[in-house]
Amino acid sequence: MWFRSVYLKTLRDARIPILGWGIGTGLLMWLVISQVPSLIATPQERAALVSLSASFAWFADPVGLTTPGGYATWKYGLTILLVTLWPLLTCARMLRGEESRGSLDVLLSLPRSRVRVALEKVGGVWTALLGMGLLIGLLVEGGGRSVSADFGVSDALLFGLNVALIGAVFGGVALLLSQFTEDSGTASGWTAAILLVSIVLDMSHRVFQGTDWISRFSPIYYYNLSKPLVPGYGANAAAMLLLLALAILLSGAGIWLFARRDIGGVQELPGPLRRRSEPTRPVPMGLTAEWSLRSVYGRSLRTISAATLWWTVGIAGFAGWMVVVVKQTAGLLRTLSSAPAIKGLIKVGGGDATTNANLLSALLFFLPLLLMAFAVTQASRWAADEEDGRFELLLATPQSRLGVLASRFGALATATVLISVITLASVEAASALSGLTLDGGNLVAATLGMIPLGLLMAAIGYLFAGWLRAAVDTGLLSLLLAAWFFITFIGPGLSWPDPILRLSAFYYYGTPLLKGLRVGDMLVLLAVGTAALALASVRFTRKDIGR
């Protein structure tokens, strides 16, 4: 049945992400909502939460914090945006990926128009997002019922629908951008950068007064306007309809461009953005190819350069922005420190390095996550290249399989190091410009300590690629990354035992901005990553290519 139409085939391919992301995200909200009454059981705890939340309003609007739905929405509403990783990656390769491996030529040879094929694929992705939203909503409602929360099943389903809509918007962005790129990795990199910029734009009106008009350019702003789990607030129908219209417009524009270009080609950018063609220069004697074609490593580095650029801009820019947020938050905390409800619960040192590090460590917790998300996209590229048949011609040259894998992974490792180093420079520059005092050694440890996490995720992705198709590989990696993040992010607050916390790779990263680099834990990450890469190498050298 699942192969009778492009729509059903697309939906079948999404069955694991539907269950994984839907159940995983729903269970996260269930656990948080069910624990809220115990977290704010006394009037003092509730008063402290309300007072302290004012200094962290940059993260989300503190509305209804003393209710299970309001607390979960405030603390984890932005974290739920991890769900957008799946439509972002899927829509970037939905058409472009099939063009690269030549399967779209076969599909279009059937009596189906381009527009119909694209519409069925988009419809399959949107149905999958609705399935995720349904599972999330049902589990949220179950968590609310367990503590007699004052929101109903319709509110919970609207919460899931809102998550599905924001996923559809960034899926539409990825689909549109893939019409202008030669490969899906570049499109996903651009979309990830736009996602980060959108988050920053949404935060701006909560950090700087009078910048509400800037935030309105961000889809995240309209996503946050709906809070159906908060009593008396509810969903914003106009904002949700705007997200739907935006998703339709972006996806429709992508399909329109796809229907009017050559298969395998790219859509020309508008005149001012179009790259100017340069006259062909003669190749000097003895120079047979440019540097990027002289080795697998050079070619791999050139291939991922565009995606690396956009991920670097997003991650380093986000880190610099967090420094500005810390500067604002520190001032608010100094004002609040005299409040009886929270006096003694926080330590404000008047801008000293320890206080700033405490704040910045909490805000930069997302940086390792973003770097690992970059590793997921590049590991997916490795799996897709094998699936698309790109290895056959390469291995027909005098290149060993082990050498090819090592070169590809080496290029990814180089990009990972580059992103971390530029992020370090961005934070240092922002700190100097804003006058924020930080411990230089711990700052180096916090930024460069992300590298083992990125390499670990990439090595696991290469290992999974030995047995799994690219779509499944990406889905499992994304679920693993989300599971690690949720364990570390919510586990301590829910008093989970230490053995469970140790299951997350983020546990071994620790808080280097506060306590420096834990060498032993870094060695654990490197050892696990090395073992995964060794197993991936054994599998790749012994398997039939494409199987």
pLDDT surpasses 60 at 335: no
Tell me how far apart the alpha carbons of residues 481 and 82 are, in angstroms, rounded to a whole number.
10
pLDDT score of 340 = 43
Per-residue model confidence as pLDDT tens digits over 94-139? 888 788 777 787 788 777 888 999 999 999 999 999 999 999 999 9
Per-residue model confidence as pLDDT tens digits over 340-398? 433 433 333 334 445 555 666 666 677 888 899 899 888 888 887 887 777 877 777 78
Per-residue model confidence as pLDDT tens digits over 410-466? 999 999 999 999 999 998 898 888 777 777 888 888 889 999 999 999 999 999 988
Radius of gyration for the alpha carbons in the chain, expressed in angstroms and rounded: 24
526 to 49, 310, 413, 459, 505: CA distances (angstroms): 39, 26, 13, 10, 11
Do the beta carbons of residue 336 and residue 347 sit within 8 Å?
A: no
Which of 145-159, 180-194, 318-332: highest mean pLDDT? 145-159
CA atoms within 13 A on the CB side of 308: 18
**Burial level of 448, CB count in 10 A (0-12/13-18/19+)?**
middle
Q: pLDDT > 70: what percent of the chain? A: 85
Per-residue model confidence as pLDDT tens digits over 237-256? 999 999 999 999 999 999 99
**Burial level of 63, CB count in 10 A (0-12/13-18/19+)?**
middle
Question: What average pLDDT score do residues 510-534 get?
Answer: 90
pLDDT surpasses 60 at 334: no
pLDDT score of 211 = 77
Other beta carbons within 10 Å of 517: 17
Which string of b and e fits 143-165 if b means at least 16 CB within 10 Å? bbbebebbbeeebbbbbbbbbbb
- pTM across the whole model: 0.76
Per-residue model confidence as pLDDT tens digits over 287-322? 444 555 668 898 889 888 888 888 898 888 888 888
Q: Is pLDDT larger for residue 290 or for residue 491?
A: 491
Annotate 38-80 with three-state secondary structure. Answer: HHCCCHHHHHHHHHHHHHHCCCCCCCCCCCHHHHHHHHHCCHH
Instruction: List the chain domain ranges.
Output: 1-267, 306-547
Tell me how far apart the alpha carbons of residues 547 and 536 are, in angstroms, rounded to a whole number.
14
Tell me how far the alpha carbon of residue 73 is from its chain's centroid: 19
Question: What average pLDDT score do residues 63-89 get?
Answer: 84
pLDDT score of 57 = 64
Per-residue model confidence as pLDDT tens digits over 468-486? 877 777 778 887 888 888 8
What's the maximum distance between 2 C-alpha atoms anywhere in the chain?
81
Which string of b and e fits 16-52 if b means at least 16 CB within 10 Å? ebbebbbbbbbbbbbbbbbbbbebbeeeeeebbbebb
Sequence letter at residue 333: L
Question: Tokens standing for 325?
Answer: 């947020």
Tell me how far apart the alpha carbons of residues 385 and 217 are, in angstroms, rounded to a whole number.
36
Tell me how far apart the alpha carbons of residues 277 and 462 are, in angstroms, rounded to a whole number.
37
Do the beta carbons of residue 375 and residue 474 sit within 8 Å?
A: no
